[in-house]
Amino acid sequence: MPVLPDQHVINQIISGHYADPFSLLGMHDVATGLEVRALLPDADQVWVIDTQKQRRVAELRRYDDRGFFVAQIPRRKKHFRYQLEVRWGEVVHIIDDPYRFGTLLQELDIWLLAEGTHLRPYEKLGSHPMTLDDVDGVSFAVWAPNAARISVVGEFNFWDGRRHPMRRRRENGIWELFIPAVREGQLYKYEIIDCHGQTSLRADPYAFEAQMRPDTASLVRKLPEKVDYSPARKKANALNAPVSVYEVHLGSWRRHADNNFWLSYGELAQQLVSYVKWMGFTHIELMPINEHPFDGSWGYQPLGMYAPTRRYGSPDEFKAFVDAAHQAGLNVILDWVPGHFPSDAYGLVQFDGTALYEYADPREGYHQDWNTLIYNYGRHEVRNYLAGNGFYWIERYGIDGLRVDAVASMIYRDYSRKAGEWIPNYYGGRENLEAIAFLRYTNQTIGRELGGAVTLAEESTDYPGVTMPPEANGLGFHYKWNMGWMNDSLSYMQLDPVHRKYHHNLMTFGVLYAYSENFILPLSHDEVVHGKGSLLDKMPGDTWQKFANLRAYYGFMWAHPGKKLLFMGGEFAQGREWDFNASLDWHLLDEANGWHSGVQHLVRDLNHCYQQQSALYELDYHPRGFEWLVVDDHENSIFAFARRDDHGNELIVVSNFTPVPRYGYRIGVGRPGRYHEVLNTDAHFYRGSNVGNVGDVYTDAQPCHQREHSISLVIPPLATIYLRREDC
């Protein structure tokens, strides 16, 4: 007689509630030999086949009419490779039994995953096509320590949770299963019975591809091949390199005119990449392309952290887009959101019936501003999930930098909370020590293991040492967005020129702290949404003055210490604020007045001038690279400064933020010689009034501004000019 558990256990596995399927299913030792057990609902007949000998060795008896089969194989003590020949009606299939395979995770992986220091957890968790014991199939693994039972369900098993329950690894709460014959591209989910007995279908947190919304299943995909990091890409990210970033939302940069549908990754590889290269930018920054359920979140509420969104194509097509950018000499930055996630039922919320990925207490785990959940950075596995994701995008897709969103919301427990709505840390402070440790670990390991890739912080407070190394008590980012400069300078530019003399310090204050961090000057999407209007719309005055103000501002920004970032549409002065659901207003470039094309030509020339003049970028983060020449002319709203490189090359920058041209304006300079006007934002080519210095200006031995030599300039109205010192 077969040696079987009692009927209660059989009832549990048939109903899909048995947590230890390997103890019951598969091949087992019994007193009289071997016994094979299988759960095959609706099967009519089942045989055990010796794979090596290719012959039947025993017929499985239907022990329970609901599909539980058992066969005893007497006189055989040694386990052997076997298959099951199954007849469903008139159809016969030979299948490999998932329950004849051993454990999948190795001891070292189990240790590192539990410790939270596995650099590449995505190589072990999720779904992976593989060959095991000469059998092709897919391994599945998911972390859910408090679940009562987890099954893999998909189009390969009729989405039936009874057919493929997983093995629980008690060492670290990971559930695993190798399923033969599953193919790449097939849909799957995890059917989870949580610790409260509730059943839910969940997408794979480590899925490499997901269905197009509103569908939510994961797809089996091979792990993308690693991308080599070229010396040129490393050099382009360096602190002494020119960095000019074009920030893009792929779904609204340009759309098909006939149906307003998105461009594909392939179309973007041709159109966007060539445009960004032509415009002279050095980097493309993508607003999050991680899979996300809601278009209106712009990708900032992701659930598929490891899956490029299907909105624009497949993962392979996204990878080809990144490669096209690299081929064009452009680096790619990805906006990355490890701060929060939405509460969609198929995602991470209460994943195993407990607050697994999120903090349990809403005072820690709920974002009031965004109606989202905050990752629990105190859990090793959660930190590992997120840090590994950063590795994944850099190593597997060739992403050159991660711009980390909303860092302030991560590192402060009282972010956007009133008194009593937050929980202090262990020491009674407001800092989220676990989030800080996570950021330090991620930045440090990316810097150590993936040399050349950079991380950039959108951090809106004055938290000290954002770009200092962790060993110096910093967060370890390579760059920080300079939100203070952006707010001050835009506040100044929105003033009527007659009032600017009273707020002169708004344009000078940024230099006082410009060297406290490695700053990027951002004019991002956040400045052109939610009723804020476009950059052009912020400028005061009539049409001529609006465009002149914007051109002068861009000239000032491109010369100011710090790398540059401009959101799409700003480069041609789009008149309305950004709408994620429509294309940019490219038709503006066809208008006969040329206002918009003039701004576009200016931004293009600024980018090329910026790359050509090493004085504008080489010493961005060293005070030797900057000197005020005129800092106190409040009455005329004029600013003048020198930028220098490591070899003494010098560029003088002068901005006039009034509509009054200044003739014979004298500025003291440190070195005598000839100065050539290399850029003038008031040039006719940019649709300005064409006031300027007509080429070269020579110094006079006339003291001015505490300097022995000076130059007399014509400073155009509402304009910025660049003058390069030339060897005579």
Average of pLDDT values for 559-569? Answer: 98
3-state secondary structure 172-230: CCEEEEEEECCCCCCEEEEEEECCCCCEEEECCCCCCCECCCCCCCEECCCCCCCCCCC
- % pLDDT > 90, the chain: 88
DSSP secondary structure letter of residue 393: H
Q: What count of Cα atoms within 13 Å lies in the side-chain half-sphere of residue 391?
A: 22
Q: What are phi and psi of 64, to 5 degrees?
A: -140, 135
In this prediction, residue 703 carries a pLDDT of 87
Tens of pLDDT along 445-479?
999 998 889 999 999 998 999 999 999 999 999 99
Cα torsion angle, 75, 77, 81, 86, sign: positive
Band of the pLDDT at 19, cuts 50, 70, 90? confident
- For the entire predicted model, the pTM comes to 0.94
Q: What is the CATH code for 7-100?
A: 2.60.40.10
Tens of pLDDT along 62-114?
988 898 999 998 888 899 999 999 998 889 999 999 999 999 999 999 999 99
Average of pLDDT values for 345-372? Answer: 94
Domain(s) labelled CATH 3.20.20.80 in the chain stretch across 242-337+401-411+433-614
Q: What are phi and psi of 503, to 5 degrees?
A: -130, 30
Which of 443-452, 517-526, 600-609 is the least confident region?
443-452
User: Tokens 């199939």 — which residue?
Assistant: 137
In this prediction, residue 6 carries a pLDDT of 78
Upstream peptide bond of 21 is cis (omega within 30 degrees of 0): no
130-156: buried (b, 16+ CB within 10 Å) or exposed (e) per residue? eeeeebebbbbbbbbbebbbbbbbbeb
Residues whose CB falls within 8 Å of the CB of residue 688, separated by 6 or more in sequence, listed in order: 548, 551, 598, 680, 681, 682, 716, 719
Choose between 12 and 177: higher pLDDT. Answer: 177
Q: Cα 286 vs. chain centroid, distance in angstroms?
A: 8
Average of pLDDT values for 377-401? Answer: 96
**Which residue from 128, 112, 126 is spatially nearest to 172, judged by alpha carbons?**
112
Contact (Cβ atoms closer than 8 angstroms) between residue 615 and residue 726 = no
Answer yes or no: CATH 3.30.365.10 is held by domain 242-337+401-411+433-614.
no
Which residue type occupies 108? L
In this prediction, residue 301 carries a pLDDT of 96
Count of beta carbons in the 10 Å neighbourhood of residue 19: 17
Tens of pLDDT along 668-695?
998 888 999 999 999 999 999 999 898 8
Contact (Cβ atoms closer than 8 angstroms) between residue 104 and residue 141 = yes
**Which residue from 133, 194, 196, 190 is spatially nearest to 166, judged by alpha carbons?**
190
CA dist 566 and 569 (Å) reads: 9
Band of the pLDDT at 1, cuts 50, 70, 90? very low
pLDDT tops 60 at residue 630: yes
Query: What is the four-CA torsion angle of 543, 548, 554, 555, rounded to 10 degrees?
Result: 170
In this prediction, residue 14 carries a pLDDT of 87
Paired tokens of 91: 């159809």
- Total length of the chain: 728
Q: Judging by DSSP bridges, how do beta strands 283-286 and 331-336 pair with one another?
A: parallel
CA dist 435 and 364 (Å) reads: 12
Q: Which helix (H) or strand (E) holds 109?
A: helix 107-115
**621-726: CATH class:** mainly beta
Tens of pLDDT along 289-321?
999 999 999 999 999 999 999 999 999 999 999
In this prediction, residue 719 carries a pLDDT of 97
Q: Cα 250 vs. chain centroid, distance in angstroms?
A: 13
Strands lying side by side in the sheet with 174-180? 126-132, 135-143, 174-180, 167-169
Average of pLDDT values for 476-484? Answer: 96
* Burial of residue 683, with CB atoms counted within 10 A of its CB: 0-12 exposed, 13-18 middle, 19 or more buried: buried
Task: Tally DSSP H helices, then E strands, for the chain.
Answer: 15, 35
In this prediction, residue 592 carries a pLDDT of 87
First and final C-alpha spacing in the chain? 105
Domain(s) labelled CATH 2.60.40.1180 in the chain stretch across 621-726
In this prediction, residue 728 carries a pLDDT of 58
Q: What is the CATH code for 107-219?
A: 2.60.40.10
| Catalytic sites, residue numbers | 405, 458
Bridge partners, residue 640, by sequence: 630, 654
DSSP secondary structure letter of residue 459: -
Tens of pLDDT along 268-291?
999 999 999 999 999 999 999 999
**Which residue from 381, 366, 342, 437 is spatially nearest to 146, judged by alpha carbons?**
381
DSSP secondary structure letter of residue 498: H
Domain(s) labelled CATH 2.60.40.10 in the chain stretch across 7-100, 107-219
502 three-state secondary structure: helix
**Which residue from 726, 718, 692, 724 is spatially nearest to 555, judged by alpha carbons?**
718
In this prediction, residue 3 carries a pLDDT of 57
Contact (Cβ atoms closer than 8 angstroms) between residue 562 and residue 482 = yes
User: Tokens 């010396």 — which residue?
Assistant: 231
Q: Is 527 left (phi over 0), alpha (psi -120 to 50) or beta?
A: alpha
